[in-house]
């Protein structure tokens, strides 16, 4: 098992270094949602990747050359395709922005599978999932939005549908049940939600993009753009509102390291313990003998073999010898040599009558 620990992330390295915009564009059929996401390829963000659940990107100009449209044939393929693009081999394509066309298409297909499973389990051809089953299903499916809108770190557009007027009020209409759920899921993951519609204004039919939900001060609820609106128009509006401090095309250079350096623990500064050999060397350098240490070990620690002394016992004998040395230096006896200050008990017979006098004085 490896003892290497995972480097600690420096929180200051996670300050935003690049501006991005995550949008949901809702509208009825034929309002130009797919053409709007195609305009992302001309916004200067890098190559666009469209996860095409409805398999309509083949109709858009520039598919395959100016941007990629990846057709999702089965709903279960979508999470795999997203993983491929964000963390798999698809990273080599260097995608700069993403789009999902459409969220309702994916959610509706998975919801239909769930309804079929409920009806098969209950034997009721008209059975509907319970509120708890719908909530649990919604949380699982929202993993797709989390990967795209949050974990990708790129600008994203999620296309959603709006049912024909009145359908959402019909409880027995399956589309009327699904689409409100997709809206409630989207609003948690996007910065701005826009509804696009065709309206008559000043005698002409024009396309209107109206903000219906916003987390950005650049887009107040009710804000509108009309005409041939592109994704870059929304980026420009965001930049004009004071978000120009962060670049759109590439992240700013990092000003701090991504990980924190490991600092040595104070516990590593503990002084090394003295060995028996170091104690002998110190004693002999000050005129003591090995026999003096042996005698002291017997008297103070009841240990006749000095090589079995514990670290604490060695430290205690060292303290006693040091104290004796300091005392001799303070009160030297005239006419004596260094050897004369060694303990008087130097063998076992003397130790019995006068046990380790010089160490005991310490």
Tens-place pLDDT, residues 92-147: 999 999 999 989 888 888 888 888 989 999 999 999 888 888 878 778 888 899 99
Spatial neighbors of 212 by CB under 8 A, at least 6 apart, are 26, 193, 194, 195, 221
Per-residue pLDDT, 357: 44
List b or e across 126-164, with b for residues whose CB sees 16 or more CB atoms inside 10 angstroms. eebbeeeebeebbeebbebbebbbeebebbbbbbbbbbe
Please answer whether residues 266 and 276 qualify as being in contact, where contact means their C-beta atoms are separated by less than 8 angstroms: no
What are the structural domain ranges in the chain?
A: 15-243, 276-361
Other Cβ atoms less than 10 A from the Cβ of 110: the count is: 19
CATH of domain 15-243: 3.40.50.300
How much is the pLDDT for 163? 60
Q: What is the C-alpha to C-alpha distance for residues 30 and 148, in angstroms, rounded to an integer?
A: 25
**Main-chain dihedrals φ then ψ at residue 86, nearest 5 degrees:** -90, -35
Alpha-carbon distance 190 to 60, whole Å? 25
Please, are residues 99 and 156 in contact by the beta-carbon 8 Å criterion? yes
Determine phi and psi for 39, rounding to 5 degrees: -65, -15
Q: Where are the alpha helices (DSSP H) in 75-215?
A: 77-87, 103-122, 131-141, 143-145, 174-186
Residue 63 is predicted with a pLDDT of 95
Q: For the sheet with 204-214, list strands across it.
A: 68-71, 47-52, 95-101, 155-161, 22-27, 192-201, 204-214, 224-226
Helical segments of 44-95, H only: 77-87
Q: What is the pLDDT of residue 153?
A: 92
The two tokens of residue 244 are: 């120009």
Low-confidence ranges of the chain (pLDDT < 50): 1-2, 166-178, 334-357
Q: Tokens in use for 119?
A: 């009806």
- Residue 333 confidence (pLDDT): 54
């Amino acid at each position: 098992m490896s003892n290497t620990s995972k480097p600690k992330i420096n929180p200051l390295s996670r300050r935003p270094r690049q501006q991005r915009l995550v949008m949901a564009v809702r509208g009825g059929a034929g309002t130009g949602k797919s053409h709007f996401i195609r305009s992302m390829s001309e916004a200067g963000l890098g190559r666009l990747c469209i996860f095409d659940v409805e398999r309509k990107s083949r109709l858009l100009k520039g598919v395959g050359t100016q941007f990629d449209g990846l057709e999702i044939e089965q709903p279960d393929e979508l999470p795999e395709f997203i993983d491929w693009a964000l963390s798999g081999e698809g990273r080599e394509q260097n995608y700069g922005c993403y789009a999902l066309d459409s969220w309702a298409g994916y959610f509706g297909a998975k919801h239909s599978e769930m309804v079929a499973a409920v009806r098969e389990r209950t034997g009721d051809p008209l059975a509907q999932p319970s509120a708890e089953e719908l909530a649990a299903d919604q949380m699982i499916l929202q993993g797709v939005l989390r990967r795209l809108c949050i974990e990708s770190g790129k600008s994203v557009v999620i296309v959603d549908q709006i049912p024909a007027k009145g359908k959402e009020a019909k409880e027995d209409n399956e589309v009327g049940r699904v689409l409100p759920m997709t809206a409630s899921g989207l609003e948690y993951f996007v910065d701005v939600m826009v509804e696009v519609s065709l309206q008559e204004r000043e005698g002409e039919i024009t396309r209107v993009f109206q903000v219906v939900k916003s987390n950005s001060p650049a887009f107040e609820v009710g804000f509108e753009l009309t005409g041939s609106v592109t994704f870059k128009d929304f980026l420009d509006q965001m930049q004009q509102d004071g978000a120009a401090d962060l670049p759109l095309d590439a992240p700013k250079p990092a000003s701090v390291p991504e990980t924190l350096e490991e600092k040595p623990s104070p516990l590593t500064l503990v002084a090394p313990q003295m060995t028996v050999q170091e104690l002998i060397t110190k004693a002999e350098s000050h005129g003591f003998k090995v026999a003096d240490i042996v005698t002291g070990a017997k008297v103070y620690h009841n240990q006749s073999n000095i090589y079995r002394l514990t670290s604490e016992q060695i430290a205690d004998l060292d303290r006693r010898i040091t104290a004796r040395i300091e005392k001799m230096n303070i009160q030297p006896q005239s006419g004596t040599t260094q050897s004369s200050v060694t303990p008087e008990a130097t063998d076992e017979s003397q130790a019995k009558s006068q046990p380790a006098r010089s160490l005991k004085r310490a």
